Copies of this chain bind each other. A is one copy, B any other.
Amino acid sequence: MPSPRAVVLLSGGLDSATVLAIARSEGYDCHTLGFDYGQRHNAEIAAAEQVSAAGGAVRHRTLAIPIGRFGGSALTDAAIDVPDHGGGGIPVTYVPARNTVFLSLGLAWAEVLDAAAIFIGVNAIDYSGYPDCRPEFISAFQELARVATKQGVEGHAVRIAAPLIHMTKAEIIRRGTTLGVDYSLTVSCYRADGEGRACGHCDACRFRREGFATAGIDDPTRYYR
Contacts and interface: CB of A to CB of B under 8 A. Distances in A.
Contacts of A65: 65
Contacts of A144: 100, 137, 140-141, 143-144
Interface string A136-172: 1100110110111110110000000000000000000
A63 interface: yes
A150 B96 contact: yes
Contact of A97 (B94, B104, B140, B153): B104
A94 B137 CA distance: 26
Contact of A104 (B101, B143, B149): B101
Interface string A36-71: 000000000000000000000000000111110011
Interface stretch (A106-114, A178-186, A199-207, A210-218): A106-114
Contacts of A143: 140, 143-144
A111 B65 CA distance: 17
B140 A147 contact: yes
Contacts of A209: none
A134 interface: yes
A90 interface: yes
Interface of A: 63-67, 70-72, 90, 94-101, 103-105, 107-109, 111-112, 131-132, 134, 136-137, 140-141, 143-144, 146-150, 152-153
